[in-house]
Structure 1
Amino acid sequence: MKTILTTGSNGLLGQKITEKVLAEGRVKLVATSKGENRYPAAAGYEYAEMDILDSKQVRDVIERYKPDAIIHTAAMTNVDTAEANKELCYALNVNAVQTLISLCEEKNIQLVHLSTDFIFDGANGPYKEDDAANPLSYYGESKVLAEELFKDSKANWAILRTILVYGITSDMSRSNIVLWAKGALEKGLPINVVNDQWRMPTLAEDLAEACLLAVEKQANGIYHISGKDYMSIADLVRKVADYWALDQSIVTEVTSVGLNQTARRPMKTGFILDKAINDLGYRPHSFEEGLKVVDGQISLES
């Protein structure tokens, strides 16, 4: 059985990988993150503190556990924070990736890296894997720079690009679009939502499954991983309202210009998923099915 090491295991995707491994037992898991373990169960896997900016600690942990594969989920993903703090963004999203690539080359470890639809400018979505990158934000630029490191490396690697990941865990450090919309609507707070940005939201469980499939199938190259439904952010929020029978009258649709976000966002991304479906056996949920999964988990929490 393969041993995989995850970075960023306290995040949403990291916790979903842990959850899936514990439920299915397909691999041995070493979960790593900065600080204490936030996953509620401590048995059935190893946990090690690991700051991806500390290259010596990263080497020590990898040499201790000798994984067959690393799934690298840790990153700065807040687009506006990245725009405001480019130096830290570069350290987390580029330098840390170089550290992992070098170690994986040296020790013959497969490296599965997470990237984003924000490498594209949103002028011609949905996108195929070989479409040209043209990021509009520093976050997108940092992820392009990280991808370029792989193309020059001798490591065994796969890049999984994804879009607008949503889901819920028992201990979350940050929200996501579905939970934000549900929470605001439940409180009856008037919200402004963009109607000219289009995405294919991704259930965290689907992305976790894609990560494990990439390891199991020794995937190599770039794969697009998202949900299968294409919608505007405004449509997404209305679908959330419909699912939980919440009042939509407090939703005001605005354009991207009206929202005045720090970093520019691509207008229409979305992915063509054929490669992941055919090569990995990837089978994403519909958005409605994804909301049902989240709803079931909220019910268990309460």
Structure 2
Amino acid sequence: MKTILVTGSNGLLGQKITERLFTTKQFKLIATSKGEDRFPVKDGYIYAEMNILDPQNVREVIERYKPDAIIHTAALTNVDTCEDQKELAYQLNVESVKTLISICEEYDIQLVHLSTDFIFDGANGPYTEEAAVSPLSYYGETKVEAEEAVKTSKCKWAILRTILVYGIVSDMSRSNIVLWAKGALEKGAPINVVNDQWRMPTLAEDLADCCLLAVEKDAQGIYNASGKDMMSVCELVEKVADYWKLDKSLIHEISAATLNQTAKRPVRTGFVLDKTIHDLGYNPHSFEEGLAILDDQLKK
């Protein structure tokens, strides 16, 4: 049985991977993150506190558990924060990856690295794995540099690119667009939503499954791992309102230009998923199915 070490296990994706492995027992899991373990059940896997910004600490933890694969989910993903705090963004999104690469090369560990649609400028979406990158933001730049480091490394590697991940866990450190829209509309709060950006939102469970498929199948190369439905951000929020029968008149359509955000966002991203479906057996849910899964979890 392979041993997987997950970085950022307290995040949404990290907890979904823990959940998957906790129920399937498919791999041995070493969950690592900063601070205390946020996953509600504490047995059936090992939790090790690990600071991804401390190379010595990272090395000690990996040498202690000798995983067959590392799934690297830890990153600074807030696009505007990356623009404002470039040094921190570089440390978290590039330096940490280089640390992992050197250790993976040394111990022959497979590295599954998470990347993003923000490596593209959004002029020609949806994108295949071979499309030329052209980031608009510093966040996108850090993710491109990290990808390049992974691609030129001597370890076994897979890069999974994803888009706008949504879902829920019992101890959420931050929200996502689905929960934000649902929460605001339930309170009767009017919300401004952009109508000129298009995405393929990704259910966290689907992305967790793709990470595990990459390990199971010894995947090598770049794979697109998003949801399968393309929609504008405004359509996404309207679908949330429709599903939970909330008041759509509270949704005010605006253009992205009026938001004055620090970092630029791509207009239309989206991915062609054929390779991931064919090579890994990836089978993402539709957005409506994802909302139903979320609804079921919220009821519990």
Q: Is the 8 A contact 1:192 1:259 kept in 2?
A: no
Equivalent residue number for residue 283 of structure 2 = 283
**1:136 equivalent in alignment to 2:136:** yes
Superposed structure 1 runs of 4+ greater than 3 Å apart: none
Paired residue secondary structure (1:222): strand
Equivalent residue number for residue 88 of structure 2 = 88
Equivalent residue number for residue 205 of structure 1 = 205
Q: Is the 8 A contact 1:94 1:142 kept in 2?
A: yes
The CA distance in 2 between the partners of 1:46 and 1:278, in whole Å, is 33
The CA distance in 2 between the partners of 1:222 and 1:35, in whole Å, is 31
- Name the TM-score, length of structure 2 as normaliser: 1.00
The CA distance in 1 between the partners of 2:241 and 2:21, in whole Å, is 32
1:87-236 → structure 2 map (5 Å cutoff): 87-236=87-236
The CA distance in 2 between the partners of 1:162 and 1:243, in whole Å, is 24
**1:29 equivalent in alignment to 2:29:** yes
Q: Deviations over 1:128-175 (max 9, x none)?
A: 001000000000000000001012210100000000000000001000
RMSD: 0.4
**Amino acid across the alignment from 1:152:** T
Paired residue secondary structure (2:253): strand
**Amino acid across the alignment from 1:234:** C
Q: Is the 8 A contact 2:151 2:157 kept in 1?
A: no
Unaligned residue ranges in structure 2 (runs of 5+):
none
The CA distance in 1 between the partners of 2:181 and 2:229, in whole Å, is 18
The CA distance in 1 between the partners of 2:220 and 2:287, in whole Å, is 28
**Amino acid across the alignment from 1:36:** E
**Amino acid across the alignment from 1:11:** G
Task: Please state how far the C-alpha of 1:102 moved relative to its aligned partner.
Answer: 0.4
1:1-40 → structure 2 map (5 Å cutoff): 1-40=1-40
Equivalent residue number for residue 75 of structure 1 = 75
Task: Please state how far the C-alpha of 1:2 moved relative to its aligned partner.
Answer: 0.3
- Name the TM-score, length of structure 1 as normaliser: 0.99
Task: Please state how far the C-alpha of 1:184 moved relative to its aligned partner.
Answer: 0.6
1:57-68 → structure 2 map (5 Å cutoff): 57-68=57-68
**1:243 equivalent in alignment to 2:243:** yes
Identity percentage of aligned residues: 73
Unaligned residue ranges in structure 1 (runs of 5+):
none
**Amino acid across the alignment from 1:83:** E
Paired residue secondary structure (1:249): helix
The CA distance in 1 between the partners of 2:22 and 2:291, in whole Å, is 23
The CA distance in 2 between the partners of 1:264 and 1:117, in whole Å, is 13
Equivalent residue number for residue 48 of structure 1 = 48
